[in-house]
């Protein structure tokens, strides 16, 4: 499996997103290949999260299309869209763990919802997923009993509960210490390498962008459209001046 | 989706003290895969080594990893050398990651359901813990009041007016409806009993005194407990979740002065007024019923009501309204300030605020009724 491929997995074309008359971003077109770690970057308020909401089915775009493995997402019926969503794992910015459920139940819910597995199997899967994010033994904890970083990791465990084809992550490392953030980055890369998961990361965290991304777009808050930036490492060296300014924290 | 035919699994002996686990086909999460328990049964006492043969493996995901994780943990417990080099490299790395952070054994974290006895004990302890907290909160409010009267409390009168508007005028519709219906019920109740002695005109006394002294305050109290008490707890609880209360504290602003005091004052001012209003609406309902159903003259009812209502009845009603208002605000703010940091905790705070308020109101009502009776007020 491993490594990015040339098979398009997510195709975004001419997408315009916004609220009512207010356009946040327009003319977004990019392709995410299977096995990519695709970074959507940009400053505060540029529309990163709005784009993510359009990609995962929470907010209908004003225009344009999103295709998963060639299948139109927003043009599909509610049922088909529901089926496509099942292959997505989403990690929300603030974790969005269900506060009335224990960690184990948080991770188990998607599995119980969509498979016929026995409780014993589900428990095993849950324990393994929690162990993967470094939370072995925290099954019976409630989210309110955890630190911010632990919540983030727990919600990653929930996002990958069903081994999704596509993992969508909003700000993976915000609120995490550098070591934990690095471990999370490593885990994301490992999921891609081992399981062939396509990963879309929405972030402005430079360390993550540069170390894990192999393709990217930059959403510009001023022009309200995107700049295709390719591999972030290349963009840092020879990209658009605006992007280099961003990636070097204003130094270039 | 589940497809059981696709995975293959076999355990072969490997020398005297070893096992060779052969995995083949498709080991994916949606299939009904074997559990690691199958391997554990085969381990027995003699086995010291374990290795894996995955030549026939075509596709795998967490389904395989979960299985292997169970096997490897069991091996580690029994000091069996598990040779993972035969596994796909990606699986090896992910398993290593899962085992990298040892399982936390967290002391004192309660798990599972408690026995009945333990539950009773826990509840009793919780009550013993709660009672001093209530007293402490009462003390803090008293201090805060003193600060207010000596002009040292940071207090925004604009907040007070906003609260007054929210808890007073906006509650008029629901108070009107309930008071009208309760007045109507009282009138029917009285008519039925008084007919026996042919004194139906005393419906007016019953309704007037009943509404003004007791029922108006009680009904208003219960409505406001549900409407405003719960809202106070939810507002303050959400502020607790968002660390807004901590933000006030770090600025040196007492949350009690800033958040609790306006709410308590607003209710102490508004509930008695609503009580008066409730009594008035109840009397109107009584009048309407008496005139239309029981054929008592309007003027007759009016003079009887005036005769029955003494000034002390208003005082009793107003004092009860004030006390109930204070109780509701106290319960709502207390539960809000005690709130934990989750959505569920906010829900519990709102529920508990209403329950506490109604409990306090009922206790206060009983005490005041007895005291007023003894004092012949």
Instruction: Verify whether the Cβ–Cβ distance A144 to B33 is below 8 Å.
Output: no
Q: Which of B34, B37, B90, B238 to mutate to test the interface with A (most CBs of A within 10 A)?
A: B90
Percent of chain A with pLDDT over 70: 98
Instruction: Verify whether the Cβ–Cβ distance B97 to A144 is below 8 Å.
Output: no
Please report the pLDDT score of residue B106 as a whole number. Answer: 65
Please report the pLDDT score of residue B102 as a whole number. Answer: 76
Give the strand order in the sheet containing A88-91. Answer: A71-72, A63-68, A8-19, A22-33, A225-228, A215-220, A37-42, A198-203, A166-170, A88-91
Please report the pLDDT score of residue B260 as a whole number. Answer: 93
Residue B361 to residue B279: CA distance in whole angstroms: 18
Model confidence at B3, pLDDT cuts 50, 70, 90, reads: very low
Instruction: Verify whether the Cβ–Cβ distance A142 to B102 is below 8 Å.
Output: no
Q: Distance (Å) from the C-alpha of residue A75 to the closest C-alpha of chain B?
A: 25
Report pTM.
0.72
Scanning every residue of chain B, which has its alpha carbon at the shortest distance from the alpha carbon of A195?
A: B61
Residue from the list A100, A125, A136 with its beta carbon closest to the beta carbon of B103: A136
Is any Cβ of chain A less than 8 angstroms from the Cβ of B90? yes
Instruction: Verify whether the Cβ–Cβ distance A115 to B30 is below 8 Å.
Output: yes
Is any Cβ of chain A less than 8 angstroms from the Cβ of B128? no
Pair type for strands A225-228 and A215-220: antiparallel
Scanning every residue of chain B, which has its alpha carbon at the shortest distance from the alpha carbon of A134?
A: B101
The answer to whether the beta carbons of residues A156 and A187 sit under 8 Å apart is yes
Q: For A61, phi and psi rounded to 5 degrees?
A: -70, 155
Helix axes A119-132, B89-100, angle to 10 degrees: 80
The answer to whether the beta carbons of residues B339 and B243 sit under 8 Å apart is no
Q: Distance (Å) from the C-alpha of residue A180 to the closest C-alpha of chain B?
A: 12
Residue from the list A115, A120, A140 with its beta carbon closest to the beta carbon of B109: A140
Is any Cβ of chain A less than 8 angstroms from the Cβ of B66? yes
User: What torsion do the CA atoms of A116, A119, A122, A127 make, to the nearest 10 degrees?
Assistant: 180
User: What torsion do the CA atoms of B59, B64, B65, B71 make, to the nearest 10 degrees?
Assistant: -150
Per CB-CB distance under 8 Å, the chain B contacts of A135 are 101, 104
Lowest mean pLDDT, pick from B108-112, B158-162, B197-201: B108-112
The answer to whether the beta carbons of residues A231 and A216 sit under 8 Å apart is yes
Per CB-CB distance under 8 Å, the chain B contacts of A141 are 106, 109
Please report the pLDDT score of residue A5 as a whole number. Answer: 74
Is any Cβ of chain A less than 8 angstroms from the Cβ of B30? yes
Tokens representing residue A211 in the block: 């170390």
Residue B271 to residue B340: CA distance in whole angstroms: 29
Structure confidence by residue, pLDDT tens digits, B275-333:
999 999 999 999 999 999 888 999 999 999 999 999 999 999 999 999 999 999 999 99
Residue B78 to residue B76: CA distance in whole angstroms: 6
Residue A196 to residue A201: CA distance in whole angstroms: 15
Residue from the list B35, B100, B341 with its beta carbon closest to the beta carbon of A121: B35
Please report the pLDDT score of residue A246 as a whole number. Answer: 84
Please report the pLDDT score of residue B187 as a whole number. Answer: 93
Model confidence at B337, pLDDT cuts 50, 70, 90, reads: very high
B352 secondary structure, DSSP code: H
Q: Distance (Å) from the C-alpha of residue A113 to the closest C-alpha of chain B?
A: 12
Residue B261 to residue B148: CA distance in whole angstroms: 9
Q: Distance (Å) from the C-alpha of residue B93 to the closest C-alpha of chain A?
A: 8
Structure confidence by residue, pLDDT tens digits, B6-23:
788 888 887 778 888 888
Residue B200 to residue B195: CA distance in whole angstroms: 6
Is any Cβ of chain A less than 8 angstroms from the Cβ of B88? yes
Please report the pLDDT score of residue B222 as a whole number. Answer: 95
Instruction: Verify whether the Cβ–Cβ distance B343 to A99 is below 8 Å.
Output: yes
Q: Distance (Å) from the C-alpha of residue A30 to the closest C-alpha of chain B?
A: 28
Kindly give, in sequence order, each residue whose CB lies less than 8 Å from that of residue A236, ignoring residues fewer than 6 positions away: A210, A244, A247, A248
Please report the pLDDT score of residue A1 as a whole number. Answer: 44
Percent of chain A with pLDDT over 90: 6
Lowest mean pLDDT, pick from A61-75, A166-180, B216-230, B254-268: A166-180
Please report the pLDDT score of residue B41 as a whole number. Answer: 78
Q: Distance (Å) from the C-alpha of residue B58 to the closest C-alpha of chain A?
A: 11
Is any Cβ of chain A less than 8 angstroms from the Cβ of B61? yes
Please report the pLDDT score of residue B103 as a whole number. Answer: 74
Q: Distance (Å) from the C-alpha of residue B125 to the closest C-alpha of chain A?
A: 21
Structure confidence by residue, pLDDT tens digits, B225-244:
999 999 999 999 999 988 88
Please report the pLDDT score of residue B112 as a whole number. Answer: 64
The answer to whether the beta carbons of residues A57 and A81 sit under 8 Å apart is yes
Interface predicted TM-score of the whole assembly (ipTM), two decimals:
0.75
Region B144-163: mean pLDDT is: 86
Q: How far is CA A44 from CA A49, A50, A218, A231, B202, in A?
A: 10, 12, 12, 21, 73
Beta strand segments in A43-170, E = 63-68, 71-72, 88-91, 166-170
Check residues B33 and A67 and name the one with the higher pLDDT: A67
Check residues B106 and B274 and name the one with the higher pLDDT: B274
Size of interface A-B (CB pairs under 8 A): 100
Residue B41 to residue A133: CA distance in whole angstroms: 29
Q: For B13, phi and psi rounded to 5 degrees?
A: -70, 145
Check residues A240 and B266 and name the one with the higher pLDDT: B266
Helix axes B216-224, B261-292, angle to 10 degrees: 130
User: What torsion do the CA atoms of A70, A73, A76, A78 make, to the nearest 10 degrees?
Assistant: 140
State chain A's mean pLDDT as an integer. 86
State chain B's mean pLDDT as an integer. 88
The answer to whether the beta carbons of residues A245 and A252 sit under 8 Å apart is yes
Instruction: Verify whether the Cβ–Cβ distance B62 to A129 is below 8 Å.
Output: yes
Q: Which domains does chain B have, with CATH numbers?
A: 7-100 (3.30.750.24), 141-374 (no CATH)
- CA nearest to A155, candidates A190, A193, A108, A106: A106
Element (H, E) at B126: helix B116-149
């Amino acid at each position: 499996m491993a490594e990015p491929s040339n098979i398009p997995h997510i195709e975004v074309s001419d997408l315009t997103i916004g609220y009512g008359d207010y356009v946040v971003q327009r003319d977004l077109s990019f392709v995410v290949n299977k096995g990519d770690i695709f970074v959507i970057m940009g400053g505060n308020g540029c529309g990163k999260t709005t784009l993510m909401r359009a990609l995962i089915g929470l907010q209908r775009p004003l225009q344009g299309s999103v295709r998963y493995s060639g299948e139109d997402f927003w043009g599909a019926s509610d049922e088909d869209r529901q089926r496509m969503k099942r292959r997505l794992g989403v990690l929300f910015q603030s974790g969005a763990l269900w506060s009335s459920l224990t960690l184990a139940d948080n991770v188990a819910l998607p599995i119980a919802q969509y498979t016929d597995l026995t409780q014993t199997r589900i428990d095993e899967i849950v324990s393994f997923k929690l162990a993967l994010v470094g939370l072995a033994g925290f099954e019976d904890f409630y989210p309110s009993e955890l630190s911010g970083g632990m919540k983030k990791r727990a919600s990653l465990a929930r996002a990958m509960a069903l081994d999704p084809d596509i993992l969508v992550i909003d700000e993976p490392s915000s609120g995490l210490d550098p070591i934990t953030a690095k471990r999370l980055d490593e885990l994301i890369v490992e999921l891609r390498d081992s399981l062939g998961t396509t990963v879309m990361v929405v972030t402005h965290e430079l360390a993550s962008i540069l170390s894990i991304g192999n393709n990217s777009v930059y959403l510009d808050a001023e022009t309200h459209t995107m700049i295709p930036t390719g591999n972030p490492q290349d963009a840092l060296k020879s990209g658009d001046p605006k992007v280099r300014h961003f990636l070097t924290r204003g130094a270039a | 989706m589940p497809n059981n035919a696709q995975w293959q699994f076999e355990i072969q002996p490997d020398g005297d003290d070893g096992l060779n686990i052969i995995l083949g086909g498709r080991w994916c999460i949606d299939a009904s895969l074997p559990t690691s328990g199958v391997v554990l049964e085969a381990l027995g006492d003699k086995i010291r080594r374990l290795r894996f043969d995955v030549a026939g493996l075509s596709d795998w995901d967490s389904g395989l990893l979960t299985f292997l994780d169970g096997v490897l943990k069991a091996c580690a417990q029994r000091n069996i050398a598990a040779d993972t080099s035969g596994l796909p490299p990606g699986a090896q790395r992910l398993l290593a990651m899962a085992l990298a952070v040892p399982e936390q054994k967290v002391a004192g974290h309660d798990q599972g359901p408690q026995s009945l006895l333990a539950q009773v004990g826990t509840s009793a302890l919780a009550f013993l813990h709660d009672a001093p907290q209530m007293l402490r909160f009462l003390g803090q409010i008293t201090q805060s009041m003193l600060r207010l009267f000596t002009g040292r409390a940071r207090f925004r009168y604009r907040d007070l007016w906003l609260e007054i508007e929210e808890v007073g005028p906006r509650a008029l519709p629901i108070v009107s409806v309930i008071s009208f219906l309760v007045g109507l019920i009282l009138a029917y109740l009285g008519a039925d009993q008084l007919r026996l002695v042919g004194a139906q005109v005393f419906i007016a006394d019953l309704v007037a005194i009943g509404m003004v002294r007791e029922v108006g305050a009680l009904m208003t109290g219960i409505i406001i407990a549900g409407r405003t008490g719960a809202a106070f707890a939810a507002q303050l609880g959400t502020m607790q979740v968002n660390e807004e209360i901590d933000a006030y504290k770090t600025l040196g602003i007492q949350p009690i002065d800033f958040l609790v005091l306006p709410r308590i004052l607003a209710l102490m001012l508004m509930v008695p007024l609503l009580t008066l209003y409730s009594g008035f609406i109840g009397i109107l309902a009584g009048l309407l019923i008496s005139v239309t159903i029981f054929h008592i003259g309007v003027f007759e009812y009016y003079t009887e009501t005036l005769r029955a209502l003494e000034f002390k009845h208003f005082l009793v009603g107003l004092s009860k309204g004030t006390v109930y208002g204070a109780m509701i605000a106290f319960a709502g703010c207390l539960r809000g300030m005690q709130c934990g940091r989750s959505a569920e905790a906010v829900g519990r705070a709102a529920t508990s605020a209403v329950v506490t308020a109604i409990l306090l109101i009922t206790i206060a009502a009983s005490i005041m009724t007895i005291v007023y009776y003894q004092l012949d007020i």
